[in-house]
Structure 1
């Protein structure tokens, strides 16, 4: 039979650097820790290292770690305001969120049971995209690592939950499924002394419609309770909206990665032509390049410069190699556009069209979606798809132009070498000659406006695709057929041309500009739920927990440690916080926030403590760290600060059932001072025989996992990690810690002295 306070050491190891944060996974035998170098390392219970995520920079520190329940997803908060979602299983980065302030804490809430919120809203078409949309093809570009379709991570995997991000300035951000921004609140606006403010922790209630904030307001330590009616009423449609938001964000990432691959392939085309053709063109006087090539085409006369360039520098072999390289690069670009980019654009159109339909269900989505914003995003997506088709046409035209130009140059080079032209080499027809003359005449037509306002002419402008991959208007706009019936219809009917049901085709914009417009419109769609929920936070109660000393000398002894736990069995929210070096408050709220039970725990001996324990180590114990092991046990890390004695650390598993009879009850919501009403309870009177365990070294941090039954303690200047197994069986008692607790030693010594 296992005991709740039994433990044995199963391993310890000195890590390479100083550990700043530790966090156990909720269900798996994985522990993540951040080092002083900014690295995030994930390893198993057996010390097997799974993955190491590198630092973001020399001055970027890991501030917080949080595992998603039942998942391999880890949220990491950094000191530069960045929050990164990492996948330990695939060793990949899912998403990056940037905030203006440094991160205080980041964590995932407990899972949302969707069955509890589906009674008011149900949509049978929620996941039809899995049926209608095929998987996106893998990304494989020149110079890019291939990402298989199954590796395109989904935000919506696993149990639905909130990602909560807390900044050091007191701003709290909620993200449903880690994707949909579902409200934010600035705690400074709800305190009396915003200039003397500090946030310690912020937690969502078990029903996800309220929030507990533990803050320092001037000299007072407070618990602020906020209620949100929008979260309470619209949690079901929000879950549906969050799934679409996650899919949209995945598609956005896929589009950006695809365009990056296209740009890499295009740069290969540009590099090849720069090495061979542009270098020669830059050596020629302005305006002479097109004239010289036109003379060569029409009259068959080549200047000495062109003749030397074609015969000695370019050569027939070099020209064929250049033609093959350019053709291969264009094929790669065209494949990426026609398959990956167009498929992702169609997926984006599908999701935005679904959001437009949801926005028309005003009863459920009125505060979450704007019909005008979704319509504008849909139009931007339509314009993006039309620009993709335009780029495809330009690529086809460029490929044909290149083939014709290179074929003609090859014939010219053979004639310059006075060689016979092979029969298999196609001859230039009169129609090709006319077309080629127009093409040669456009060599120096491209004028590029630089960022500083200057104008540069691009010589030897054989390539027209690159202008679509720049964030500026096109320099060479594709000419449309004036006799096309659809174009004539739009030109003659302004009402039809401005109709919102028709997607605009902006001929002067580039592909990058249309992509940016689409991304901006999509961001606007998801601003509304964040604004609606943010404006609905109402302060219900402000509970004073303690008065903090003003003296800076007591800073170490007034450091606030807190932990939060949702007790689903009792349908309550548990909050524990230290109020000074030897006292802590244990608060228990019911889900309706109508009743509060609280008790004040004191480490020092009380009036009813036995004489054997009065002069014991309890009078010198101080809090170092604490965390809920489960709904009935509180894990506490302590150390003794007795004078003339080396510091000794201790570990305590405090059973909360022992405090039930000591709790005081109060009606909520109510602004009360718990120091005036909380009943004091002395910890030595509550302990079982072997609850207090001495530890080796000076311990500084604690990480527990009740589901895995393990505890990790950090010691030796944050470099040594020691793992303990908890709740071991009785037949393993001989392998427990070799030393008995000081409590047992004291009792035995007291008994022997009395005899």
Structure 2
């Protein structure tokens, strides 16, 4: 029953012999303080991030460690926030020192995707859209049409060190695995100075918001996409920081949900394909470096050390025509190259060329075809101006992106022609040189190698004229430089033009284009950029596509307006509570379409917790309510019947239950874990009209107050200075963290068999006595616990099971 004012309602007392309400299933003392923790939405897994930058995954059973992801020099060491993808297969975490967001695969602790941020991220929320419509259903059914027209992208070879693990699986549906389910899900990121961005499927940025003031402390996007609730901390020079609640109207996303889903799905495909092409080109560069090290450097050294005025090309031609060589050339061939070395070098260059050729055909061309397909579909969407123009799709910009991809395909095809010609010339050159060196050594020449046709001689002459002719434009610090290898110039990440551009004399198509008045400058033809490298054309393509990807984010971001700004309370500067766990917290009720904010005001009333309710639709009038829950009466304390209860942390367990950590009177008082049923509070329709010019703590005397009966839904946390809690109502679990951020206990919250519960509780208490002793002396005891946990899990702890079995287990548990 609700009442107003500061009068504390009566709370039913609890029996003294009450059995613990929740069953403890795990406990551990961690070597490093924990900064973030989050339960998986689908499995009994909890992710922890500690102060060393290490990401840990633990299973509920005995709190066994499944895997750990150490900090990387390529990412960072300061993890500031965690969020699970709604399907539980990918974990996102932000890094404050490098300003990056990382997507990590849960099955094998692999970094799948990394993207930079403008500001450090302080909080994140990953939600899934639950709205259904006929347009969305038809899109879901037609999503796999691309598989009918496009070949599966082959996995990149694992032999290259820089290949990312995104596409290294044996399966060929890597992009779909990274995208997850077709239903739209959005990763919301918040940071300092009102920095808020929305990423569809955790990869494609669909909105950059402006107008939010302060540092984001918590945020939640409604499942119907109608609004975004943000908790910010606003600082001023005069007063203490103020905690504010802001509701942003994201109606454009909700009104255009089918269009947003289509656009986001396509652009996420495009973003992933760009990364696929980048990794393919990286593999090609590594394959080319083998040729450069083994061929170019040896012959260049010979040229630089040569004392005669005769050109290298002339010396090789003399050897080709007359079978005679200068002493210098003979010394190079017999001492530096040797017969065995030449044979090995020939096989190595042929193998490297073949690898590059396969990468171009299988990866660059396949990826370019897929890019053209998806961009063409996006162009078709942009032409439907009534649907997609409000989202910022520009058909002219997309047409430019299609043209850039076409130019990249032409350049890749040009590289194939250069590789094909170089392979023929190299094979003929090495075969001839191998025979010549055998004759110098007066060794037997195999009959099959002794015959050279006129075509073979022409190949060798072409090789010598193209690769060993001096280029006056190229000078090295040590002397003249000779371009022995033509393929590498296409793979150099430089802005300079090609040293040896392709010879297009005699090309009938180019001649026809130059003579044609109508086709010479036609927009239907892709420009070829004959003077530029493959890297240059790729960067140009990436920049053009990036502009197409960014424009909708700007347009959608500008459409988001502030619907409500409510200052809640001030916090003292001396507060040492870690920001990532501090109240308030947000909850998105998918059934009732409401946002709930839970917060406490310890300076005003430490024994109360406040619940703010706000409808997710800013354009629909739903009574706003602010209620306070008072637990000032004791929890059956024999020492002090008037012990004051203070709220330390609170998290929504489900739509009608709140999990809280409570503290009795005094600094050394006992801590409690409790469940607060909110059915009566949430059903209250009393509208609270707050003064917009005053903070909520200045109006606390007018906030309705309600008392709740806990029943047996509480448990004393013995020998633990509990401070924080993380819960998962679907899995019916909770994890309590101590104030020093190193002591963790895990509980199963809904226990039906009380006999089993009592036995397990006694065992847990007995184990706890021995564990507490080990906790006082950190080191060997913890290492032994960790070793035992890792030995039990056998290296994988069940995550390496077949996917079908995992899904069956999840379905059984959820049912």
TM-score (norm 2): 0.81
Aligned to 2:262: 240
Correspondence list, 1:122-161, <5 A: 125-140=142-157, 142-144=159-161, 146-150=168-172, 152-154=174-176, 155-158=178-181, 159-161=183-185
On the 8 A contact 1:447/1:456 being kept in 2, the answer is no
CA spacing shift, 1:460–1:409, aligned 2, 3 Å: farther
Aligned to 1:443: 468
Counterparts of 1:425 and 1:339, CA distance in 2? 33
The structure with higher relative contact order (CA 8 Å, sep 6+) is 2
CA spacing shift, 1:401–1:79, aligned 2, 3 Å: same
Is the counterpart of residue 467 in structure 1 residue 489 in structure 2? Answer: yes
5+ residue gaps in structure 2? 1-17, 764-815
5+ residue gaps in structure 1? 192-196, 740-755
Counterparts of 1:25 and 1:554, CA distance in 2? 30
User: How far has the Cα of 1:662 moved from its partner?
Assistant: 6.5
User: How far has the Cα of 1:37 moved from its partner?
Assistant: 1.1
Q: How many residues align?
A: 717
* TM-superposition CA deviations, 1:660-695 (whole Å, max 9, x none): 577741479977754437754667x42323344221
Match of 2:370 among 347, 351, 360: 347
Counterparts of 1:132 and 1:198, CA distance in 2? 47
- Residue 734 of structure 1 aligns to a residue in which SS? helix
* TM-superposition CA deviations, 1:131-166 (whole Å, max 9, x none): 211211121164347542446243431342110111
Counterparts of 2:659 and 2:55, CA distance in 1? 25
Match of 2:358 among 324, 330, 335: 335
Match of 2:601 among 545, 563, 579: 579
Is the counterpart of residue 601 in structure 1 residue 618 in structure 2? Answer: no
Aligned to 1:50: 66
Counterparts of 1:525 and 1:179, CA distance in 2? 15
CA spacing shift, 1:702–1:150, aligned 2, 3 Å: farther
Aligned to 1:753: none
Aligned to 2:721: 698
Counterparts of 1:618 and 1:653, CA distance in 2? 21
User: How far has the Cα of 1:421 moved from its partner?
Assistant: 3.7
Match of 1:288 among 270, 292, 311: 311
Aligned to 1:411: 435
CA spacing shift, 1:568–1:616, aligned 2, 3 Å: farther
On the 8 A contact 1:621/1:639 being kept in 2, the answer is yes
On the 8 A contact 1:638/1:651 being kept in 2, the answer is yes
Is the counterpart of residue 200 in structure 1 residue 217 in structure 2? Answer: yes
Counterparts of 2:474 and 2:639, CA distance in 1? 83
Moved more, 471-480 or 588-597: 588-597
CA spacing shift, 1:567–1:141, aligned 2, 3 Å: closer
Aligned to 2:520: 497
Match of 1:717 among 740, 745, 752: 740
On the 8 A contact 1:73/1:85 being kept in 2, the answer is yes
Counterparts of 2:303 and 2:641, CA distance in 1? 87
On the 8 A contact 1:82/1:98 being kept in 2, the answer is yes
Moved more, 14-23 or 58-67: 58-67
- Residue 595 of structure 1 aligns to a residue in which SS? coil
Aligned to 2:114: 96
Match of 1:87 among 105, 121, 124: 105
- Residue 132 of structure 2 aligns to a residue in which SS? helix
* TM-superposition CA deviations, 1:386-412 (whole Å, max 9, x none): 111111111111111111211221222
* TM-superposition CA deviations, 1:178-198 (whole Å, max 9, x none): 122111223xx454xxxxx43
- Residue 526 of structure 1 aligns to a residue in which SS? helix
Moved more, 269-278 or 585-594: 269-278
Is the counterpart of residue 477 in structure 1 residue 501 in structure 2? Answer: yes
Aligned to 2:793: none
Counterparts of 1:84 and 1:44, CA distance in 2? 22
Moved more, 216-225 or 9-18: 216-225
User: How far has the Cα of 1:246 moved from its partner?
Assistant: 1.9
User: How far has the Cα of 1:456 moved from its partner?
Assistant: 8.3
Moved more, 614-623 or 386-395: 614-623
Aligned to 2:777: none
On the 8 A contact 1:443/1:459 being kept in 2, the answer is no
CA spacing shift, 1:268–1:709, aligned 2, 3 Å: same
CA spacing shift, 1:658–1:464, aligned 2, 3 Å: same
CA spacing shift, 1:236–1:151, aligned 2, 3 Å: closer
Counterparts of 2:293 and 2:593, CA distance in 1? 66
Correspondence list, 1:201-600, <5 A: 201-217=218-234, 218=236, 219=240, 220-274=242-296, 276-285=298-307, 288-368=311-391, 369-419=393-443, 421-430=445-454, 432-441=456-465, 442-446=467-471, 459-472=481-494, 473-482=497-506, 484=508, 486-493=509-516, 495-546=518-569, 548=570, 552-553=573-574, 560-580=582-602, 582=606, 583-593=608-618, 594-600=621-627
CA spacing shift, 1:312–1:205, aligned 2, 3 Å: closer
User: How far has the Cα of 1:23 moved from its partner?
Assistant: 0.6
* TM-superposition CA deviations, 1:686-716 (whole Å, max 9, x none): 2323344221311232110101111111127
User: How far has the Cα of 1:203 moved from its partner?
Assistant: 1.8
Is the counterpart of residue 72 in structure 1 residue 89 in structure 2? Answer: yes
Aligned to 1:10: 25
User: How far has the Cα of 1:9 moved from its partner?
Assistant: 0.8
CA spacing shift, 1:85–1:629, aligned 2, 3 Å: same
Counterparts of 1:123 and 1:386, CA distance in 2? 34
Counterparts of 1:457 and 1:664, CA distance in 2? 88
Aligned to 2:809: none
- Residue 487 of structure 1 aligns to a residue in which SS? helix
Counterparts of 1:527 and 1:94, CA distance in 2? 22
Higher fraction of strand:
1
Counterparts of 1:30 and 1:335, CA distance in 2? 41
On the 8 A contact 2:33/2:742 being kept in 1, the answer is yes
* TM-superposition CA deviations, 1:479-520 (whole Å, max 9, x none): 113350x21222123542322221111111111111112211
Counterparts of 1:481 and 1:125, CA distance in 2? 47
Counterparts of 2:435 and 2:456, CA distance in 1? 14
CA spacing shift, 1:738–1:617, aligned 2, 3 Å: farther
* TM-superposition CA deviations, 1:202-223 (whole Å, max 9, x none): 2212321211122233454321
Counterparts of 2:520 and 2:19, CA distance in 1? 74
User: How far has the Cα of 1:574 moved from its partner?
Assistant: 1.7
On the 8 A contact 1:137/1:340 being kept in 2, the answer is yes
Counterparts of 1:660 and 1:478, CA distance in 2? 74
CA spacing shift, 1:264–1:677, aligned 2, 3 Å: same
On the 8 A contact 2:634/2:641 being kept in 1, the answer is no
Counterparts of 2:473 and 2:546, CA distance in 1? 31
Aligned to 2:208: 184
CA spacing shift, 1:363–1:596, aligned 2, 3 Å: same
CA spacing shift, 1:638–1:262, aligned 2, 3 Å: same
Counterparts of 1:88 and 1:67, CA distance in 2? 10
User: How far has the Cα of 1:457 moved from its partner?
Assistant: 6.9
The Cα RMSD (Å) is 3.3
Counterparts of 2:739 and 2:277, CA distance in 1? 48
Counterparts of 2:134 and 2:599, CA distance in 1? 31
User: How far has the Cα of 1:474 moved from its partner?
Assistant: 1.2
User: How far has the Cα of 1:616 moved from its partner?
Assistant: 4.3
Correspondence list, 1:602-751, <5 A: 603=630, 605=632, 616=640, 619-640=643-664, 642=666, 646-660=668-682, 664-666=686-688, 673-675=695-697, 676=699, 679-680=702-703, 685-695=707-717, 696-715=719-738, 717-732=740-755, 734-735=758-759
CA spacing shift, 1:115–1:600, aligned 2, 3 Å: closer
- Residue 144 of structure 2 aligns to a residue in which SS? coil
On the 8 A contact 1:170/1:198 being kept in 2, the answer is yes
